[in-house]
Structure formats: structure tokens, C-alpha cells
Amino acid sequence: MKKEFSEIIPEKIALLIDADNAQPTLIEKTLNETGKYGLITIRRIYGDWTAENMRGWKRILNNYAIQPIQQFRYTVGKNSTDSAMIIDAMDVLHSHRVDGFCIVSSDSDYTRLATRIREAGIFVMGVGKRTTPKPFVNACNVFIYTENLVSKEDTEKTKKASISSSAEHGKTKKYDPVPMLKAATEMAAQEDGWANLATIGFYLHQLDPGFDPRTYGYKQLSQLIKKYFNVFELRHQDENGPTSVYVKLKE
């Protein structure tokens, strides 16, 4: 039997933030995004709170009930936050107090941590910049790019700046979601060829934990698939409850 995406959603999540590799301006949206996958019962942020660059974080920690964990930098230029965060994560993992983790960082040093959590059969999601190394992204069940959390206005500014920069180098990188959408639909398809949209979402995150319809300008997966009407066929079905969406590849 194929798993529905909802089956991997945990009940309780531990949110662990690397303050050196996260943006305080996005904390509310990060909490909202994490909350979609479960109840955030542990909220911790790690960094050297004697440093000047932590000032932005200090102003908002109390508002969001996030517990700051002090980690001194024993060597100049060396980030010691990751070791403290990894040790705490393993303690929480073995305490069996949560069903999932959210690691907020763009640092590849957390790749092994994410892998270890998944090996224990525990859900793990990551939140970081699009420049986050692919090994860390793929080690998570779900990875949310912070660029997809900013407002539409800010996104347009970033997009224009990116296009301008790419134009200067003579090329613009484009992403085509169709091959991955087709692969996920084929994996989720039943004998009649129809696939439940939620199951497609599950397999998309299996293929690429960083897949997000917002990357392509759509809030929902169904909206993105609907754009490619020449490739996919959509069907809405009421099964005595919430309407389910099914997708089928056109011949």
C-alpha cells in the first residue's frame, strides 16, 4: 500500500535554530511553516549571545518563546554552534519527547544529523537558503527554502535582481518542474492511472525534499499542475468529506 503524505506528519516537533545561519526577520514565517507539520513543543536557538551580530535575534526571542542557548566561540572565525546544536538534538532524539525535528540552517555540517534522525524513523525538515548544499537538503524529509517565505513584493525584487545579474553573465537559469511532476505522478498512480494529489506531494519530497510550488510562483501544488494542462488531467472527487484531487498523465 502506498503511503499518503499525511502519514509522515509528526505530532510534536523540536525546532532547533542555528542563529549564525538564520534570519531573524523570517522567524514568524518559519514558525508558521513548521507548524504545518506538527505542534512545536521545543524551541531553541544556538549562538554566541555576547556577539554584536546577535542583536537582531535578542529583540524577538521573548515574543516567540524561543529559548536561547549560549555557545561561546573558542576560536575566532570558527562556528562552534553546530556542535552544541547536534549534541542537544541527539539528547532530544533519545528522550523520545518529539516525533520530528526542524533544523533551521543553511550549513552542510548538519547533513549527518539530519541523516541520523531519519535513520531513527523520525521526521526531519530543514529551513535554509537556496544556496544550502544539496546533501543537507536531500538528508531531510522536507526542505523549505527561505526565498519561498518572503513576501511577493520582496520576491519580485529578488527575482529582478537575479535576472539582472544573470543577464550580465549572459544566461538565466531556468527550472522545469514537469519531469519531476511526471515522475511523482507515475510513482503515485493506481491501476487506473489516477493518483491522489497528496500522494504525489509525498513522492515529490522523496525525489527532492526542496521541491516547493512557490519556487515556480504558485501557492499550491494543484495550481502548478493545472498550469501544464497539456500534460496532466485533474479530477475532483467528493468522498463524503473534503474534496480530493486526483491527477493523471495525458496520453
pLDDT in tens, 197-242: 989 988 888 888 888 898 888 889 999 999 998 999 998 887 666 7
Is residue 160 included in any domain, yes or no?
Answer: no
- Asked which of 137, 152, 167 is the last residue of a domain, the reply is 152
Element housing 180 (H / E): helix 178-188
Overall residue count recorded for the chain in this entry: 251
- Containing structural domain, residue 189: 178-249
Check pLDDT > 60 for residue 109. Answer: yes
Tell me the C-alpha distance between 82 and 40, whole Å. Answer: 21
Residue 172 lies in a domain: no
**124: in domain:** yes
Q: What's the pLDDT at 54?
A: 86
Q: Verify that 17 and 134 share a domain, yes or no.
A: yes
Q: State yes or no: pLDDT of 43 exceeds 70.
A: yes
More confident residue, 207 or 44: 44
The answer to whether residues 18 and 104 belong to one domain is yes
Q: Is residue 162 part of a domain?
A: no
Characterize 30-47 residue by residue with b for buried, 16 or more Cβ atoms within 10 angstroms of its Cβ, and e for exposed. Answer: bbebbeebbebebbbbbb
pLDDT at 170: 44
- 213 found inside a domain: yes
The CATH number of whichever domain residue 212 belongs to comes to 3.30.420.610
**Structure pTM?**
0.74
Q: What band does 13 get if pLDDT is binned at 50, 70 and 90?
A: very high
Residues 109 and 143 both lie in one domain: yes
